Amino acid sequence: MDKIPFTKMQGAGNDYIYVNTMEYPIANPAEAAVRWSDRHTGIGSDGLVLIGASPSPEADFSMRIFNADGSEAMMCGNACRCIGKYLYERGLIQKTEILLQTLSGIKTLILHIVDGRVESVTVDMLEPKLADESLYLPDHGLSQGIFVSMGNPHYVIFTDDVNQIADLGPVLENHPAFPERCNIELAEQKGDSIFRVRVWERGSGITMSCGTGACATAVAAFVSGRSDRRSQIIMDGGTLTIELRETDNHVLLTGPADFVFDGEIEQADDVQKI
């Protein structure tokens, strides 16, 4: 069996396995994500991220992301930040503004460099999309939630008990109102434009953080009059800063990205590189 080098990284506690597929292509990333993400028998992570060449000249690199259950996600804000740090500090690019192709479009990564290292990254998450009207799911005794698409679907509920996420998350992820399943955020206001948020990610369950979830919460807070255009989103793994830019309504996500460790893992025959 071949050995595949990987890098474990985390952004506000949202941890993924990163593989440079320009050097080590993976034939079956969905199966690899399931095996490698297991926290008892694998590396342990929220999923697998593939860093690749861009399929078009408009972007510098591409990303694909697979959740811990093997399902493919459209993109991930925390993973985008980690990719920016990876590309710069591993010498794959020297620019401090990177265009990254994702399944939900090209994202701009702005690297904030201190003493030659990436201290934080701002991701232009583009313009959010809102449902025509908020959804109300009375069969679960919930207050009205707000549906926000950040290139992937989110349902944000403002509550005074974010710890309900363990019980409500799996039910709402698979609710008939969401035929493609949904990411679920429970948010409690803690101050002016400050929110404590817990998230249930589609395909991964409870995670320490979710970049698109933080963005969706900030958008929902703004449109419902709970915050201004700049907010602090406190998740289990840390705090993310979100700005809803007035000039073009783009959502800007800023937060840390960190290396955890490097390693090699053997592939089973059905996930060997091509």
Residues annotated as catalytic (active site), given as ranges? 76, 210
**Token couple for 167:** 């019980």
Single-letter amino acid, residue 138? P
Helix then strand then coil, in percent of the chain rounded to 5, is: 20, 45, 40
What is the CA angle 68-257-8, rounded to 5?
45
Strands (E) across 71-133 are located at 72-73, 97-102, 105-114, 117-124, 129-130
As given in the structure block, the two tokens for residue 179 are 């035929």
The contacts of residue 108 (CB under 8 Å, 6+ apart) are 97, 98, 99, 100, 123, 124
Residue 209 neighbours by CB distance under 10 Å: 28
